[in-house]
Amino acid sequence: MVNHHFIIVTFALQGHLNPCLQLAKRLIRMGVQVTIVVSVHGERQISKNFQTPDGLKFATYSDGYDEGLKPRGDRNRFFAETRSNSSQRLREIITTSREEGCPITCLVYNLFFPWLGKVARDCHVRSSVLWIQPATVLHIYYYYFNGYEEVITQKYKDPSWCIELPGLPRLHGRDLPSLLFPSTKNPFNALPLFKEMIETVTDSETTPQILVNTFGSLEPEALKVIEKYNLIAIGPLIPSAFLEKRDPSVSDSDTSFECHLFQKTNDYTEWLNARSESSVVYVSFGSLVNLPKPQMEEIARGLLETHRPFLWVIRAKENGEEDRLSCMEELEQQGKIVPWCSQQEILSHPSLGCFVTHCGWSSTLESLAYGIPVVAFPYFSDQGTNAKMMVDVWKIGVRVSANEEGLVRSDEVKKCIEMVMRNEEGGEELRKNAKKWKDMAREAGKEGGFSDENLKAFVKEIGGN
Ligand code: UDP
């Protein structure tokens, strides 16, 4: 029997860290020792609110911004330092683990660190990739760099154009990951990185196994369409303490792997408890999106016009500035605004009726796994693709439309929320579908479910036992 020691390398962003911690939890439950490697700054943020559970350790590399990358920080320098320092540090960690008699048996690297496959090869350590977005998005990147770049870049702005890619639904320009295109919303030119990622996962010499945070029934076609890939569905990587809340056999210690990088409040619990069943609209744009003030004002007015109770997460600005909305008093009378919350606690609350979401992949999986219908309000990156899937494939929500200036007006916000919340405009169907996905997500993710079995088989294969 091999004593497994896995290393997981990731960015310490909320949407990256959450699935990594859940993966670590499942591995530890199988008797694997896990070290998560993040930046120095990331580890500092994590340790503020997180007690490291037994079986888990953290190690760090410097990304050149140990005090944190500010919005005006040099992203080219950040990536250059991340690349060279994480590689160097990984080599040291692998060597030390051998000297200490607890050798690394597998390196699992977030695909946004594609260069680490080479480090593993040089050091003769097994490695596999972790993909924290849907298989569908990985395929779009694959097709883009394998024959479709020209047509996509020429046509994506034309609203009447769409493309059929094998195994994927018909996609319009707004359904494609936005980081493929130049835009003021995109913080850096990600194309070279995506190209390297696709070269890594299709390398015929190494054919790395790709652990994907998805589940079989969610993306059945996408999981098998490209034969060059070796995809293993291991999701949804979501805390089972919330999923299986009403199961008394699930110990509370499961929540010990929930880590918040932002200061969260709990003062919404009583407020939620006092609301009637399925009545609350929850609004959150995740940990990265910063909506412009005019868009925030439109959302605020849309929410007010529904006359429904709402819980809205508005993160504090990084520069500490307060961006007070013009109708703050009315908002606070009708709903609740919090700087950060436990989203999973909220989505699992019986008073939840609808989730207005930016469609980050973790939020998407959470809405599916908690059976909450959505108003899809994508902003950038993979969010447009996730919105497309939620609305047209999984049929659990409606998507907002923006006007010519890219602004989603208050009447559109109100209309979409009403479509989800009411029975007569198809809302009932959306709720029924959401409930169906909730059952399927739990079936896949529970102990002994398909995804859990896939992960067990993967660990067994790594160790040869
Ligand atoms: N989240 C949370 N509290 C909040 C807002 C978000 O716990 O107030 C969590 C949410 O449950 C999800 C993660 O933050 O797991 C955000 O990841 P996602 O991929 O949805 O979006 P990103 O932040 O990467 O854009």
Q: Which tens digits make up the pLDDT trace of 198-248?
A: 999 998 888 889 999 999 999 999 998 887 788 999 999 998 766 655 444
Q: What pLDDT score does 189 carry?
A: 86
Q: Is the dihedral of CA 149, 153, 155, 159 positive or negative?
A: positive
Are the CB atoms for 313 and 234 separated by under 8 Å?
A: no
- Answer yes or no: 41 catalytic: no
- Residue 22 in contact with ligand 1 by CB distance below 6 A: no
- Residue 345 in contact with ligand 1 by CB distance below 6 A: no
For residues 132-145, give the mean pLDDT: 96
**Does 16 have pLDDT greater than 90?**
yes
Are the CB atoms for 96 and 77 separated by under 8 Å?
A: no
Ligand 1: atom nearest CA of 315 is: 8
> Of the ranges 76-80, 284-288, 320-324, which is most confident?
284-288
Class of domain 264-443: alpha beta
For residues 443-455, give the mean pLDDT: 92
Q: What pLDDT score does 320 carry?
A: 67
Specify the residue with its C-alpha closest to ligand 1, atom 11. 343
Output the average pLDDT for the chain. Answer: 92
Q: What pLDDT score does 242 carry?
A: 63
Element (H, E) at 320: none
For residues 250-272, give the mean pLDDT: 82
**Residue predicted with more confidence, 166 or 186:** 166
Q: What pLDDT score does 410 carry?
A: 98
Q: What pLDDT score does 465 carry?
A: 41
- Residue 362 in contact with ligand 1 by CB distance below 6 A: yes
Under DSSP, the state recorded for 365 is H
**Does 62 have pLDDT greater than 90?**
yes
Specify the residue with its C-alpha closest to ligand 1, atom 15. 362
Class of domain 5-239+445-463: alpha beta
385-418 pLDDT, tens per residue?
Answer: 999 999 999 999 999 999 999 999 999 999 999 9
Domain ranges of the chain: 5-239+445-463, 264-443
Ligand 1: atom nearest CA of 357 is: 20
For residues 301-307, give the mean pLDDT: 98
**Does 252 have pLDDT greater than 50?**
no
Specify the residue with its C-alpha closest to ligand 1, atom 2. 343
Which residue from 287, 342, 380 has its CB within 8 A of the most atoms of ligand 1, so it is best to mutate?
A: 287
Residues sharing a CB contact under 8 Å with residue 207, sequence separation 6 or more, in sequence order: 228, 230
For residues 288-299, give the mean pLDDT: 95
Element (H, E) at 363: helix 361-369
- Residue 313 in contact with ligand 1 by CB distance below 6 A: yes
Q: What pLDDT score does 184 carry?
A: 78
Domains 5-239+445-463 and 264-443 share a fold: yes
**339 alpha carbon – ligand 1 mean position (Å):** 12
Under DSSP, the state recorded for 212 is E
**53 alpha carbon – ligand 1 mean position (Å):** 21
CA-CA distance, 265 to 248, in Å (whole number)?
26
268-292 pLDDT, tens per residue?
Answer: 999 999 999 999 999 999 999 999 9
Set 4, 5, 16, 358: catalytic member: 16
Q: Is the dihedral of CA 164, 170, 173, 176 positive or negative?
A: negative
High-pLDDT (> 90) share of the chain, %? 82
Q: Is the ipTM of this complex over 0.85?
A: yes
pTM: 0.96
Are the CB atoms for 8 and 21 separated by under 8 Å?
A: no
**133 alpha carbon – ligand 1 mean position (Å):** 13
- Residue 14 in contact with ligand 1 by CB distance below 6 A: yes
